[in-house]
A and B are shown apart, each in its own frame.
Chain A
Amino acid sequence: MIKMTNSQKVIRFLANNTVPILFLVISAIGIPLSGYSANYLVSEVIVRLVRNSFLIVSLLIPILAGMGLNFGMTLGAMAGQIALIFITDWGIVGIPGMFLAMIISTPISILLGWWCGKILNMAKGREMVTSYIIGFFMNGIYQLVVLYGMGPVIPIRNKALVLPRGYGIRNTVNLAGIRKTLDNLVVIRIARVPIPVATFALILLLCLFVLWFKKTKLGQDMRAVGQDMEVARAAGIRVEHTRVISIIISTVFAGYGMILYLQNIGTLNTYNSHMQIGMFSVAALLVGGATVAKANIRNVFLGVTLFHLMFIVSPMAGKNLIGQAQLGEYFRVFVSYGVITISLVLYEIRKKRELALAGQSLAQAQEAQP
């Protein structure tokens, strides 16, 4: 084992945390420029944590199984949206409406997750790009169902939901019946900042589930599959089956996460809400210091905080700096895509460096032998 000096340790820490540090610097510059008060920023970050954390936690299990970042979570988001359209049509409101939507989304998510997992098993090593394209493909099917199937094939009673032509769902669906029902269920105020306790409790429950799941037999199997598929197979683990289950779990949680996200927003953009959700969730996780192969709950919360802090600050900072809020908007969009690119590149560099270090230590060990 090569012993590292202090400066090497610092360099290693900086290299391993480049993205979070970069975002800390951007936020440190942007916050004073935006002119927002600390109270406003804290309350906004809490809103974003409540809105996005569940979705991002859903990405952790496929990473554990070595399948990378599951861009296919949009499939779960679509399932969640279909469930929300149904409960809006039936007029089910409040907490029962939200939980009924979760139950309805579950079989759809399981079916889509199973199908996505089967395809990803055929594209081992290229899971991320495959799941990304599956999301686009499924978006076409979703549009076909919602735009042409709902009305003539799938009965929709509520005329306010249907397009004037008589079939298909309108561009926006008002989710007034479930808007902020969970967020407003139990609210405490700390320094005039409202904290939605019930939603945080649900997110905490999911985090505890993930922590518990990692310790189960299935969780350990997933870890083994993630480390080396061939070794896992030799140990008697059903590799393909385990990978499919990880994607199913992720898709189901993504569906629940989308329902939580939309209950917070209160409006469903029928044809667009799910489109960017995968990209932004992945970007937030990477900003938190996660990699394609390693992520934990700390990365989720750090990522949401830093990523969305930049989202909040950049339009106003752009306006105050250049006079145009639009530039801040562009900035945050290109940063979202840029951070994914940087993270992927850094991951590859780090992997090569670690391989080189392992080679060096092996060579040293061989030289030391008499």
Chain B
Amino acid sequence: MNKRTLLIRGGAILALLVVSVFLFLVGKSHSVLVDNKAVDDLPALSLVEVEVNKLGSLELTPRDRDKFDVTGQRHSLTVTYTDQMWEEHVIRRTIKIPLMQDMVMVLLPVLVANPDADQSLWLELYEPPTYAVTMAEEEEVVTDDLAGLVTDLDM
């Protein structure tokens, strides 16, 4: 193999690796939970509208939690709420989700109380409880479609 061929092949492999990393970053899915529950001494908001990117807004009442499914790491978050004086406020922030984190949760009362604070204050890395992920029952592995037919014949 001459030097030119080696360079072309090496370049092609490198380009594929770069494309793979790009696809990984662009296609990685995350769930953004938006949570309107009281946190310590901060009460839940009576009515709040939340939108992530341009995925459509969700209205949350106290104790509500909802979810946005997004891909990529950077997202815009828009929170619209009305205070006790019936004045409407809009908070616009950009969130950055850690690459391998599947779920994050936005604590809305904390964000509204500290609209300029660092995202680490109101964006929680969320791990779903194990019972929600794994089923307890055993699962029989079927590696051969014909196995069932043979059993049927035996009966």
Contact = CB atoms under 8 A, between A and B. Distances in A.
Nearest to A93: B29
Contacts of B144: 271-272
A143 interface: yes
Contact of B28 (A90, A165, A168): A90
Given A93-B71, A100-B27, A103-B19, A164 B134 contact: yes
A198 interface: no
Given A100-B24, A159-B133, A177-B29, A91 B143 contact: no
Interface residues of B, number: 27
Contacts of B136: 164
B26 interface: yes
Contacts of B55: none
A272 B28 contact: no
Contact of B16 (A103, A171, A275): A103
A148 to B, nearest CB: 11
Interface in A165-190: 165, 168, 170-171, 177
Category for how many chain A residues contact B: 20 to 34
A271 B141 CA distance: 8
Contacts of A218: none
Interface string B126-144: 0000100111111111111
A29 B84 CA distance: 74
Given A91-B28, A93-B29, A100-B24, A171 B135 contact: no
Given A94-B71, A147-B141, A103 B20 contact: yes
B154 interface: no
B53 to A, nearest CB: 14
10 contacts: A91-B28, A93-B27, A100-B23, A106-B16, A147-B143, A159-B130, A160-B133, A163-B139, A164-B137, A165-B138
Interface of A: 87, 90-97, 99-100, 103-104, 106, 143, 147, 157, 159-160, 162-165, 168, 170-171, 177, 271-272, 275-276
